[in-house]
Copies of this chain bind each other. A is one copy, B any other.
Amino acid sequence: MMKEFLKTKGFKITPQRELIFRSFFEMDKHVSVDELYDKVREKDRSIGYSTVWRNLKLICRVGLAQKVNMGDGITRYDRLTKVPHGHLFCLNCKRVVEFNVDQVVGILANTAVENKFSTRGFKVEVQGYCQLCQSESEKHADDEEIH
């Protein structure tokens, strides 16, 4: 299924590619290159970082995932399901909780139209502290030093 799809697009099926794709879909829904790289390496020590990176890019290219930027410096790849969703991002433990955005997207779509924008994507995020990390939040509230 997946394989045929890639072939028709002119991409080749390699063992590395198979492993990377497979691993990506087995993992948490929001992974960084590093995380996927580690995971993939558990299965095959010979796979290079660039290969993982490039295949992640390919996964995006064929529309199966999308880059997301939570605010810390690192890019995560969000598996694209049919339903759009928002993210609750815990500033402490970096965990992500998804939530339904049907209502919000409706509003945003209108806004876009009002502004004569041709929409390509939405990003709806709430940053904060999850229940577990709540007590930690004070520690981090003021830890940004200036150098």
Q: Are B120 and A127 interface neighbours, CB within 8 A?
A: yes
Interface residues of A in 71-108 (CB under 8 A from B): 71, 86, 88, 90-91, 97, 99, 103-104, 107-108
**Given the contacts A117-B131, A122-B126, A86 and B108 also touching, CB distance less than 8 Å:** yes
User: Which residue of the partner chain B has the closest CB to A108?
Assistant: B126
Nearest-neighbour CB distance to chain B for A73, whole angstroms, equals: 9
Q: A residues bordering B, Cβ < 8 Å?
A: 54, 57-58, 60-61, 67, 69, 71, 86, 88, 90-91, 97, 99, 103-104, 107-108, 111-112, 115-131, 134, 137, 144, 146-147
Can you list 30 A-B contacts with CB-CB less than 8 angstroms, sorted by A residue number? Answer: A58-B146, A61-B144, A61-B146, A69-B71, A71-B123, A88-B111, A88-B112, A88-B115, A90-B117, A91-B120, A97-B117, A104-B104, A104-B107, A104-B108, A108-B126, A112-B128, A115-B130, A116-B131, A117-B126, A118-B137, A120-B127, A120-B128, A120-B129, A120-B137, A122-B125, A122-B126, A122-B127, A123-B123, A123-B125, A124-B125
